[in-house]
Structures are given as C-alpha cells and as structure tokens.
Amino acid sequence: MDQFITKVLQNKKISPDYYELSFTWPRNLAPKAGHFLTIRTLLNDDPILRRPFAFSAFDKQNSTASLIYQLRGKGTKAMTTLVPGEDLDVLGPLGGCFSDCDSHHPIILGGGIGTGPMVYLANQWAAQGKSPQLILGYRSKQWIPQVELHDNVDLIITTDDGSQGFHGHGISYLQSQGAVKYPLYACGPQVMLKACHELSEKYQVPCYVSMEELMACGVGACQGCAIEVNLPQKYLRVCKEGPVFESRILKWN
C-alpha cells in the first residue's frame, strides 16, 4: 500500500451517472480484481475523508489503471471535474483480491457501483482463457454504462423495466436458467449479494462477494467498516480482511 500522486489520463462519461476514470499506475503496485484504492476528492476542502473505489482495469504494459464510478455526492461530484494531466492523490492498492478460480465458467454478477470490479474480474479471467459469464443489471436501458470486454466474456444485460436484455434482475435471470452449476462472484447492492448467497446455498456452489461498506480510514485503523461474521472473532474489517469474502462466513440480516 502506497500513497502517491498519479496523473489523470481520461475521465469519460459512460452513462448518465457513471464515469470511467483512467490514470497512471506504477507497474510494481499491480492491482487485481477486488483490490481498491482511496482518492482524495476535495472540492473547496470538502469532503475531508478519502473515497474508496475498486479498480476496473490495470494495464501493466502501459502502467495505467481505471475505475468506474457513479456520481453520488460531494466526493464523486468533485471527481467529475477531473481533466487529463491533473494530479490525483491516491492510496492503494488496498484490501484483498478475488482468488483464482478452478471453474472454466464462473458466473460473475455486477450491479450499480459493483460494475467496475466485476468487469475487471471477467476480463482478468477471460484473458487467462476462461469463459466467464458476466451478468450486469441496471434499472433501465439508459443507465447501462459502456464497458470494454474481452471476447471470451459472455455478457448478459438485465434491466428492471425490460427495456434491454433480460427483464428482471441478475438473480431472476439465473433462476430462469435452472440449476446453478458454477461458482458465483458478485458485487453490488446488498440485496443482490444476499440473494446471490442464498442461491449458492440452494445449489451448493461457492460464492464470493465484494462488500462496499462506508469507510473512514480505509486501512484497517478505525474499525468503521467492520461487518458481522460467523467466525469466533465475530467482526471483520471490509477494508483490511475484505472487501472480498466467501459469502457463507458473513452474517446476512
């Protein structure tokens, strides 16, 4: 984990409220899918706390990395004003990444702010010769961000209103396909992660989720991101022991 200044390369709007931010990134700090960074995103000295974002890509050859962010509040509003060449105060890579997967056809679910890390995971495994299925869910056609995917990725789009792709969310799509035979990987709204965990229990397949709790320090010092687990220690920190967890160790309320 290092804190340093990097340079913005591109800050591209990819849907009405999603942006893809690309920046220089040192080769020796290679982030994998699941790792995150925190950014100091000040607009008139506010907000003070750094904001966490998952990597959506890393290009070792060109020393560049990217993330996909949704415009939400003050921090992400400040990020929308970033222009190429500008300095970016970053800390990372942080947390743990998704472990390698034995299956040739892992199923990867993403939604909302979980889009970036799941696009990265699908591309990472596709580049290794796997054929991952990537299921990305959005409210409606107009909110679907444009993302770059490896040819080996089998992309399924779902929309809540049926305006594009499967009508419903990612979990209903999977249920419509019959028994789930492959490991599940997910990042997105809590309700989706819980449903994904329940599906994995039903079909007895492994399930790994990346959690996106509110964070203060982002480096394991404040306990602000602790979540309940079914382990003797009762709590784990999303920023340090996570953000990726095997779903069956988490307490799902």
Ligand X SMILES: Cc1cc2nc3c(=O)[nH]c(=O)nc-3n(C[C@H](O)[C@H](O)[C@H](O)COP(=O)(O)OP(=O)(O)OC[C@H]3O[C@@H](n4cnc5c(N)ncnc54)[C@H](O)[C@@H]3O)c2cc1C
Q: What are the Cα distances from residue 84, in Å, to 10, 23, 41, 80, 244?
A: 5, 8, 15, 12, 31
The distance of closest approach from Cβ of residue 216 to ligand X in the complex, given in angstroms and rounded to an integer, is 10
Which of 159, 182, 145, 33 lies closest to 96, judged by CA? 33
Residue 96, interface with ligand X (CB under 6 A)? Answer: no
Query: Minimum distance between the CB of residue 149 and ligand X, rounded to whole angstroms?
Result: 16
217, interface contact from ligand X, ligand FES, none, CB < 5-8 Å by kind: ligand FES
Nearer to ligand FES, 36 or 166 (CB): 36
Given the complex with ligand X, which of 74 and 248 has the nearer CB atom?
74
Cα atoms in the 13 Å half-sphere on the side-chain side of 184: 32
Interaction between residue 69 and ligand X (CB under 6 A):
yes
Q: How many CA atoms lie within 13 A of 54 on its CB side?
A: 30
> Which residues, 6+ apart, have CB-to-CB distance to 217 below 8 Å?
224, 239
Q: Is 225 in the site for ligand FES (CB under 6 A)?
A: yes
51 binds ligand FES (CB under 6 A): no
Shortest Å distance, C-beta 214 to ligand X: 5
- Helix, strand, coil percent values for the chain (each to nearest 5): 20, 35, 45
3-state DSSP assignment of residue 249: helix
Which residue lies nearest ligand X, judged by its C-beta? 73
* H or E segment to which residue 192 belongs: helix 190-203
Question: Largest Cα–Cα distance of the chain, in whole Å?
Answer: 52
239 is a contact residue toward ligand FES (CB under 6 A):
yes
Question: Could you say whether residue 39 binds ligand X (CB under 6 A)?
Answer: no
x-marked contacts with ligand FES along 202-221 as a string, rule CB under 6 A: -------------xxxx-xx
Instruction: Kindly list the residues in this chain that would bind ligand FES in the complex (CB under 6 A).
Output: 215-218, 220-225, 237, 239
Instruction: Kindly list the residues in this chain that would bind ligand X in the complex (CB under 6 A).
Output: 36, 47, 51-54, 67-70, 72-76, 113, 116-117, 212-215, 243
